[in-house]
């Protein structure tokens, strides 16, 4: 699956459509590299 960062930054991401179930995001259990 793919999520646009702008949608994630807006604080509200829903499944299927704008009125679909909301997704919740947790912190990753590992460090994410900031530079590739």
pLDDT along the chain (36 residues), means of 10: 75 86 88 78
Report the pLDDT value the prediction gives residue 12, as an integer from 0 to 100. Answer: 83
pTM above 0.85, yes or no: no
CA 7, CA 17: separation in Å to the nearest integer? 12
By 3-state DSSP, what share of the chain in percent is helix, strand and coil, each rounded to 5? 15, 5, 80
Q: How many domains does the chain have?
A: 1
Q: What is the pLDDT of residue 36?
A: 63
State the pLDDT at residue 35.
76
- pLDDT value of residue 19: 92
Q: How far apart, in whole angstroms, are the C-alpha atoms of residue 3 and residue 13?
A: 8
| Range(s) of the domain holding residue 27 | 1-35
């Amino acid at each position: 699956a793919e999520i646009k960062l702008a949608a994630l930054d807006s604080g509200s991401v829903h499944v299927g459509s704008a009125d679909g179930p909301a997704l919740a995001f947790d912190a990753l259990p590992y460090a994410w590299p900031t530079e590739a």
